[in-house]
Every structure is written in C-alpha cells, then in structure tokens.
Amino acid sequence: MSVYTTVTEDELTLWLKQYSLGTLTELRGIASGIENTNYFVTTTYGTFVLTLFEKLTAAELPYFLNLMAHLSRHGIPCPSPVAKQDNGFLAELKGKPACIVSCLKGKSLEAPTPAHCAQLGAMLADIHLAGKTFPLAMENPRGPRWWKATAPEVLPRLPEDQAALLQEELRHQSLYRFQDLPRGVIHADLFRDNALFDGDTLSGVIDFYYACNDVWLYDVAIVVNDWCIRAEGRLDTERTQALLRAYHGVRPLTAIERGAWPVMLRAAALRFWLSRLYDFHFPRPGELTHAKDPGHFQSILQRHTACQADLQGLWV
Amino acid sequence: MSVYTTVTEDELTLWLKQYSLGTLTELRGIASGIENTNYFVTTTYGTFVLTLFEKLTAAELPYFLNLMAHLSRHGIPCPSPVAKQDNGFLAELKGKPACIVSCLKGKSLEAPTPAHCAQLGAMLADIHLAGKTFPLAMENPRGPRWWKATAPEVLPRLPEDQAALLQEELRHQSLYRFQDLPRGVIHADLFRDNALFDGDTLSGVIDFYYACNDVWLYDVAIVVNDWCIRAEGRLDTERTQALLRAYHGVRPLTAIERGAWPVMLRAAALRFWLSRLYDFHFPRPGELTHAKDPGHFQSILQRHTACQADLQGLWV
C-alpha cells in the first residue's frame, strides 16, 4: 500500500492552480511503491503521476528532479517533472514535499529474455552518456563510506559464517579504489521493477531516487546482478552477454573496466546484501512488511566469490 | 511537399550518434509543412520529428527551441526538443540547422465546435501563463514596425478600395499603443492546422516558429479570427464566447483588455492580410503554390471594421 497521505480531488484541484496542466478529471491512488505516496492524476492535458515524499526532504530532491528533467531532455524515456508557473519542480502538498511527473506506459517484467536485457543495456549506456552534462553531483549514499559505517552495526547480529563473509568482502573491496574507472551519473537501483516494457519494447526507466555520481561499471553490475541472475544465484551467460554487448555498443567498455568487472559485481552484491541486512536487523516501525530477504544477495555474493574466473568469462 | 533536403537512413544513423536516442528503426518524410524539411524518425526509444530548417538560421533558432522546451517543462503538450550529448538542442545536418523534437499524436480539425474552441482557449491561456518565466525575449517580427515598413511596398500594387482600407486601418491602429495591456510570450500563429486533436481532445500545439513577445490579447485575437470565423467573415457567437470564457477561466481578462478587444481583432486581421498581400505581390521563387488568398483576411478586416459594436458584444 503506497498511499500514506490522502489527497482529495478538491484539494488537488486547488493545488493544481500553480501549474499549467489544465483541469483535473481523475485522481487515483497507486498501490505500488514503498517509500512515497503516489497518485495517477489525469487532467485535460493527460495523465501524470503525483508523488508526495514521505522520507526524502525538500533539500534532497533537486538532484533527483533535475536529473529526471535532464535525462528527459535528452530523450531518455523516464518520468519528466512538470514545472509550476514559478518554474520550479518542487512543490508542497499536505505538508510534504511533492512533485508531478509525466506518466510512462508499460509494465515491468519478472523474467526478462536476452533481447530485453539487450534493450536495457543499451538504455543504461545512454543514461550514462546523457548524464555527462548534468551539472549537479551527489556522492553515493550507499557507497564504501556507508559500508564501513554500517557493517559494525550489523556484524554483532550475524551468525559466524555470515560475519566472516561480510568482513572478508569488505577487506577484499578495500584493496581496490577504482579512481581510474569512468564515472558519472548512475541510476544505482535499476532492478527489473524499475523498468517498464510496452509489449517487448523497453518503454521507460523509473525511480531515480537512489541516483548519484559513481563508477558507471558499478551501475552495470547492479543491473546484471538482478536482470541476468538465475535462481541458484549464478549469472546467466546469454542474458549477461546480451546486456554487456548492447551496453558496449553504445558506450564502449575499456580494458581497465574488464579487469574491474568481477570486483564490481561483488561490490554491487555487497551493497544490497548489507542494506537488506540492516533493514532486517533494524526494522523501522511500520515497515516490517517491506524488509526484503538478505539471503538472496548473500547467495549472489558467495557465488561471485567462489567463481570469479567465470565472471570474467562472461565479459564481452 | 515538404522534403526539400533528402536524408538517407545511413546518414541519419551516423548523425544520431550525437544523441542518446537509441537505434534508428524507421525514417519517413512528412508531406505537410511549407517552410522546413520534416521527417518522422523512429528509434528504439520512440518516434520523433526531425526538422531541417530551410530558412531560419542557427542564430534565430534558440528562442524557438528553448521556448518549446520551456513549455514542455510546464506540461504544455507541444513538441519537446531533444538535447544532444553536448546538451544543446541545435544541430546541423546536410549543411542546414536541424533539430529533433518529440512527436505528438492527433490531427488538426477543419471545423472546430465550441467545445474544441474552449479547449484551445484554456490551453492558450496556459501557454501565456507558463511563458511568464521564459527568460528569452523576441520582438514580434510581424508587429506594427513591420506593418509600417511593408505597407508602402504593397500599396502601389493594390486597387484603390484595398489601398484605402489598408491605409485607414494603419491610421486606426496607430491611434492605439497598448503599452498597458498584459504581455508576454505569444504563439502568434495558432491557426487550426497548428493544433492537434486526439479524437475530441486537444492533444497538442505545434509550430512555434512565429512565437515572440507581444500582447497576450493579440494572440487571442489571432486565434479567434481563425477558430471562430464563419464563411462570410463574421465571428461565430457560440465559438467565440466558448473560447474567451475558457481562456478567462485560466487567465482572467481585464477591463482594459475588454476595451482593446475590437482593435485587437482588427490588428490580427491586418497582420495576416498584409503578409498575404506581400507574399501574393512579391512571390519568392518556387513558392507560388503556397501563396494564400489575401482576400480572406481582407473580408474579416472589413467585417470587423463595419461591425465593431458586435465584436464588443461577443466579450465574456
């Protein structure tokens, strides 16, 4: 359930007067999403998505809203924030930061084929390239600095084997710095549920609220760990190669990225294992239902650690 | 026929590499439009419109391209220019200034109903309001300064009755200054063929290449002279009032605008009568087929002049 804050048609009609969006014709809550309140808003000019931010603050939002506007400007099919008459994207509704964005068609896929993975790989590369001229910057809030701060909180709660795996991975990652890998804007959370397909055509990428500036290859690794994974935690050769080849066709991968690939896949698995461990062991009130299984990324990390040579073999 | 410059799929595939628009899948010339070369360009990310500017220069284009981007940003359904990877909208193709914009669905109507006129009136007001924060400015290239420069060229070619009508109208207009009427960005050419309807829903406004900064009410008069005119050159009461009421509902018209309305309707008729007279008497090579009948706007102007009290009666 993702309508935490209720908005009535009368409230919205009044609120919409600060926009140039025509007249409200329909308002409908959206059931998906776990961190914000979302509504479909239909006006005489079309259908849009209204988001009320339940956690993100007005200070954190300009990076995300301006990034979506920037990528839309470059033709990337992503939600495009609508400006108010004062030209700003950020508004306030019911005491919460709020915005309206364009509505994309399509729905997410659970079992993507190599052809779907190729489309996603190409679009991810286009997002990276289009982001080159984005003027704002944000450090990755779930990067190595966060790993180091969070691991000590989680470690005392872990069984011995998990604690050993986590400590060994943190040690392994600390040997690498990646200062010389190409970097820029990354989505950082482009799981299958954040991509929409209209039939078999990738029609949009959504949910940029984890976007930040980091190593591009790390973003590729996050995507591959979700889109190309088999049930047992191993990467699917065909999907992985389709995704990497398509990405490479738009933004050619370099020799140094080839060398960093296995470590990067492990880093991407570590990041989500650690955040899920934290959410599992330190649940926030009222959010228990959303805690995702940390075991999924633990398996992926173990598999990647055991089969590092295999990972290199999947390179394009 | 509006493909003056031919572009091949191979040329376009190469050219598209400066964008983040996916891979070209179809290229198709567009037969409408009289001043530019237009193609439908379909890529893996959707369908766009490619325009090669045959007359406008690279120096003139930033106002128009940035205006379309600004209005799109505000949710106005208009063509949205796509930025290259270097973040600019303006490109060059086959030695011509060129751009790619989003493709709107819908088609124009020849015989709009009062309900269609109401939708257009509301959107025109939204365009005016959204334009308030647009930072660029351009004087109206077809305003009073241009009338004064152009009339002496045309007058010697006119029969006596037309010359008298033109001179009298120029004299009449020169009595009014309109410095105190609300002004801002205007479309300045929002005839029926520049609005698209998807079924009975206004789905977009196109062709902003006459947009400029001028009196808002003048823009309303241009629209009313086209959308609400009857065959005999008289304004249709129902359509005119529907359009004005809907406009007024979004941007309330003022008392001073009420007073200026008849003069403004005459100014809007004068502008198109004069430009059509000029195009008729001074045809540019190869453009004879596009010269439109000046008589249409002469009739409208004559009717407005004869029935000034009626015009006021149509006010909301």
CA gap A25, A45 in Å, rounded? 10
Q: Give every CB contact of residue B233 below 8 A, 6+ residues apart in sequence.
A: B296, B299, B300, B302, B303
Residue with tokens 């299958």: A192
Predicted confidence (pLDDT) at residue B215 exceeds the cutoff of 60: yes
CA gap B112, B115 in Å, rounded? 8
A9-102 and A114-313, same CATH topology: no
Residue B314 has a pLDDT of: 74
CA gap B209, B252 in Å, rounded? 27
pLDDT, tens only, B117-176? 999 999 999 999 999 999 999 999 999 999 999 999 999 999 999 999 999 999 999 998
Categorize the per-residue pLDDT at B284 as very low, low, confident or very high, splitting at 50, 70 and 90.
confident
Q: Domains of chain A: which residue ranges?
A: 9-102, 114-313
A117 within 8 A of A243, measured Cβ to Cβ: yes
pLDDT averaged over chain B?
94
CA-nearest residue of chain A to B103?
A: A75
Q: Do A126 and B44 touch (CB under 8 A)?
A: no
Q: Would you call B11 helix, strand, or coil by DSSP?
A: helix
Interior/surface letters A182-212, b for 16+ CB within 10 angstroms, e for the rest: ebbbbbbbbebbbbbbeeeebbbbbbbbbbb
Positions of chain A with pLDDT under 70: 1-2, 33, 286-290
Pairs across A and B, CB distance < 8 A: 96
| A79: nearest Cα among B75, B106, B90, B205 | B75
CA gap A122, B43 in Å, rounded? 12
> Which tokens go with A221?
């690794």
Categorize the per-residue pLDDT at B1 as very low, low, confident or very high, splitting at 50, 70 and 90.
very low
Residue A31 has a pLDDT of: 84
Residue A1 has a pLDDT of: 43
User: What is the number of residues in chain B?
Assistant: 316
Helix, strand and coil content of chain A, in percent to the nearest 5, comes to: 45, 15, 35
Q: Is A106 left (phi over 0), alpha (psi -120 to 50) or beta?
A: left
Whole-angstrom CA distances from A182 to A121, A177, A188, A223 are 17, 12, 15, 17
Residue B310 has a pLDDT of: 77
Q: Give every CB contact of residue A15 below 8 A, 6+ residues apart in sequence.
A: A91, A93
Domain B9-102 superfamily per CATH: Phosphorylase Kinase; domain 1 (3.30.200.20)
Q: Do A75 and B83 touch (CB under 8 A)?
A: yes
Predicted confidence (pLDDT) at residue B281 exceeds the cutoff of 50: yes
B120 within 8 A of B243, measured Cβ to Cβ: yes
pLDDT, tens only, B33-79? 678 999 999 999 999 999 999 999 999 999 999 999 999 999 999 99
Q: Do B20 and A129 touch (CB under 8 A)?
A: yes
Residue B177 has a pLDDT of: 76
Q: Do B45 and A123 touch (CB under 8 A)?
A: yes
Using an 8 Å CB-CB cutoff, list chain A residues near B187: none
Residue B287 has a pLDDT of: 56
Using an 8 Å CB-CB cutoff, list chain B residues near A45: 75-77, 123
Q: Do B76 and A20 touch (CB under 8 A)?
A: yes
Write the DSSP assignment of B77-131 as a string of letters: -S--BPPPTTS-S-EEETTEEEEEEE----B--SS--HHHHHHHHHHHHHHHHHG
CA gap A187, A222 in Å, rounded? 9
pLDDT, tens only, B2-43? 678 999 999 999 999 999 999 999 999 998 767 899 999 999
pTM score, two decimals? 0.93
State the complex-level ipTM: 0.89
CA-nearest residue of chain A to B132?
A: A85
pLDDT, tens only, A261-275? 999 999 999 999 999
- The fold of the A114-313 domain, in CATH, is Aminoglycoside 3'-phosphotransferase; Chain: A, domain 2 (3.90.1200)
